[in-house]
Amino acid sequence: MLIAGNWKMNTAAGEARDLARAVASSVRDMETVDVAVCPPFVHLVEVSAELRGSHVRLGAQNMHSANAGAFTGEVSARMLKSVGCHYVIIGHSERRQYFGETDIGVNVKVRQALDHGLLPIVCVGELLEERQAGREKEVVSEQVRGALAGMDAIQPGSLVVAYEPVWAIGTGETATPATAQDMHRFVRSLLREVQGADSALILYGGSMKPGNARALLQQPDIDGGLIGGASLRADTFAAIVAAAAEEA
């Protein structure tokens, strides 16, 4: 199980330090679950320091596809690795929606992350209109295949996929456990086809909260959660980690 917190564009410096310290303390006895927090870029170094000595790992919310160069305002995989990042989120629905990220761009970033020893959390998921049109599996299939196109089999434990039903992010809506399990099972079958092995964790990323975490995490193909709003409080985040520990 992996529970990863995506803090998005939230927290000032002191708030980030306090939250990281509180998370590390709150989950210290839950070592059967892999835990990560992904703060904004500007807080990575300070959060890394707060996590030192705990089993909580550091992640970033995005990265550029190039190793270095004249890309003002961007951050490379090499930079992330140098400040202690273990994970990097790639292709989040908000990056696709607001910044025009494409499956081709996600593919290049995944390659770059793997080349630098980062563990990519690759996000896939459908919009409400795509689900209403019955195209949800077609959309997710295109995203998974695009993200991993042309790659040799990725080493076990070196890839995470997060299924985000976009219609459930920040809306208070959540896929039912049965709906989420159906898509997770489909993603797992795609990974077997594309990669030739079942070597990735598959997280649910659609408004997982303490109240619904256990029902979701009990599903056989749901291996954890990518947590947004509920990761901004140590107590709610720790409650989700505790639910995962019960199922681990």
Per-residue pLDDT of the chain (248 residues; tens, 9 = 90+): 999 999 999 999 999 999 999 999 999 999 999 999 999 999 999 999 999 999 999 999 999 999 999 999 999 999 999 999 999 999 999 999 999 999 999 999 999 999 999 999 999 999 989 998 999 999 999 999 999 999 988 888 899 999 999 887 766 677 899 999 999 999 999 999 998 777 799 999 988 999 999 999 999 999 999 999 999 999 999 999 999 999 97
Please tell me the predicted confidence (pLDDT) of residue 172. 67
- 155: which DSSP letter? P
In this structure, what token pair is assigned to residue 21? 């310290």
Q: Please state, in angstroms and rounded to a whole number, the distance separating the CA atoms of residues 143 and 120.
A: 15
Q: Please state, in angstroms and rounded to a whole number, the distance separating the CA atoms of residues 16 and 39.
A: 7
In this structure, what token pair is assigned to residue 154? 């990725």
Question: What backbone torsions phi and psi does residue 56 show, to the nearest 5 degrees?
Answer: -80, 125
Please tell me the predicted confidence (pLDDT) of residue 170. 67
**Axis-axis angle for helices 234-247, 13-26 (nearest 10):** 30
User: What is the total residue count of the chain?
Assistant: 248
Which residues are known to be catalytic?
92, 164
Classify 2 as helix, strand or coil: strand
